[in-house]
Amino acid sequence: MAQGGCSKLGKVFLVIINLVFLVLGLGLLIAGVLVKINALSSDVTPALNSVEVAGYKLGDLANNLSIVFIVIGAFIVLVSGLGLIGGCCEVRWMLVVYAILVLILLIMKIAAVALWFKMRTDFEETVKEELFKSLNDEYENDFLNSTNPISNAWNYAFLTFDCCGVNPVMNKTDNDFTATPWCTKDPGTCHQMGGTMIPRSCCTGVDQSNYIANANPECYRDVKGKYNEMGCYDAVKDLISTYGNVFIAISIVVMVVEVFAVLFAIIICRQAGSD
């Protein structure tokens, strides 16, 4: 009698848990898609890939992590449907498959969370230096269609992330562009437009289609307001922290839920097998 009551209670909890699974799976799926679409465009990736973290290219690593969360999110949605049907109808084989898949999901998420923490740690230690080296060696002009894809990607990054340089731009002489090929090599446009000091792609109130013509000269010549004051290191760091915190929070909640889901599936399986 007590076992039957426990089974009924387990069924109720299993249904509730899988409804939560469904919502959390959709959350992971949507968050992964948002990172893939909004933060990792093919225009910005070459700049990120010029930086290596723990032997991996930063752009590829972030892209792969977003794909991992998309796959895990979709898998959770499918598994939650299996758990709902198996729990409601007490189909033993479905519950066994469900429990196995949930354990696999748990292992996958532990690995993904560990990888995410490793990337964040390495980001703090090495990425700022590598980003500065990339800008200092490769930034040649403020165009989006030059023959240097890394230089183009930096301009896309300035326009996409609303940032400028690696470190925040302070004034005409205190910025990250003075030692780049854009300013040190002919025919760098840094000195061709009346003493340009920061790229036009750093100016505010413009986009990819009009920044060349509409950037305010007070911005790029005089460096007086009207430009993106945040450095790209802080912009990328904030982006990774924001999405990372969402990923970690959702993943931890899902892992706790998965443990209970396996326990309840086992209880229902045992009851179904004894009937």
Of the ranges 58-62, 97-101, 144-148, 172-176, the best mean pLDDT one: 144-148
Give the pLDDT mean for 133-155.
Answer: 88
What count of other Cβ atoms lies within 10 Å of the Cβ of residue 205? Answer: 12
pLDDT tops 50 at residue 2: no
Neighbours of 184 (CB within 10 A): 13
Average pLDDT over residues 92-103: 80
pTM recorded for the entire structure: 0.59
Nearest to 35 by CA among 208, 235, 207, 244: 244
- pLDDT of amino acid 1: 43
pLDDT of residue 100: 84
pLDDT in tens, 170-186: 877 778 888 888 888 76
Q: What is the mean pLDDT of the segment spanning 144-156?
A: 88
Is the model more confident about 116 or about 146?
146
Nearest CA to 72 among 35, 26, 14, 116? 26
Query: Is 7 or 28 the better-scoring residue by pLDDT?
Result: 28
Instruction: Pick 138 or 48 by higher pLDDT.
Output: 138
* Averaged confidence pLDDT in the chain: 76
pLDDT, mean of residues 64-92: 77
